[in-house]
Copies of this chain bind each other. A is one copy, B any other.
Amino acid sequence: MASHTPHPYYPRMLILDHYVPNELTTIEILILLFSTFGVLILGALFFSYQKRQSSIVGVGQQLTFVWFVLSGFIHLFLEGYFSVRNRTLAGEQTLLAQTWKEYSLSDSRYLSSDSFVVIMETITAFAWGPLAFYTAYAQYADSPARYIAQLILSLGQLYGDILYYLTTIYEGMPHCDPHPYYTYFYFGFFNMFWIIIPLVLIHNSVKNLYRGMTIAQAAKTTSKSVKTKKTN
């Protein structure tokens, strides 16, 4: 161990010779990250407010719109950065690299380029990222694709996150600093959003699609019976 670069990550025997400690403090990273989220949330709220009389009605739908926009940015930029730079991340000092080095205290798979994490994050960044923006747009425009996009996005996020949690929990969480701050706040709390909100939105999508398909089936039957009557 003595010949390797010391680092604060778990498992302790992990070799990360390209690791360089963050220049920013934890507080500075969290403030920068949450300020960015704050600006994105306010921007999305402003947009959604313009459609409050038509396609984005009520607080629930406005928050859903904010969620799609925020998800899109997190997937495409934060997770996209990880996808592209994961092999050299531990030695970098950009804001996004420092954010990942801080988060990795709760999951070192982000610094060791674990194959599942890299592939799942790449799909999340470049499939679910753009889809999140499209879903926001489809909601804004009240497109018939609105709940279809919401269902695909939410199911993709949910399945990815369940796999993410369970693959390391199954191994006894060797990649996480056992301090409760990292276990419960970073690993547990941050990722829980992509379990709970997708579950709610899948339920909401299925309900709306089921209602729509019931109306469409009835409309078809009516038009058929009208046609039959005319033939008679």
Q: Interface of A with B (CB < 8 Å)?
A: 115-116, 118-120, 123, 142, 144-148, 151-152, 155-156, 159-160, 162-163, 166-168, 170-171, 206, 209-217, 219-220
Residues B163 and A123 in contact, CB atoms below 8 Å apart: yes
The residues of B that contact A123 with a CB separation of less than 8 Å are: 159, 162-163
A215 to B147 alpha-carbon distance, docked (Å):
14
A162 to B116 alpha-carbon distance, docked (Å):
11
Copies held by the complex:
2
Residues B115 and A171 in contact, CB atoms below 8 Å apart: yes
Residues B148 and A116 in contact, CB atoms below 8 Å apart: no
Residues B119 and A213 in contact, CB atoms below 8 Å apart: no
The residues of B that contact A216 with a CB separation of less than 8 Å are: 144, 211-213, 215-216, 219
Residues B219 and A215 in contact, CB atoms below 8 Å apart: yes
The residues of B that contact A215 with a CB separation of less than 8 Å are: 212, 215-216, 219-220
Q: Nearest CB to that of A222 among chain B residues?
A: B219
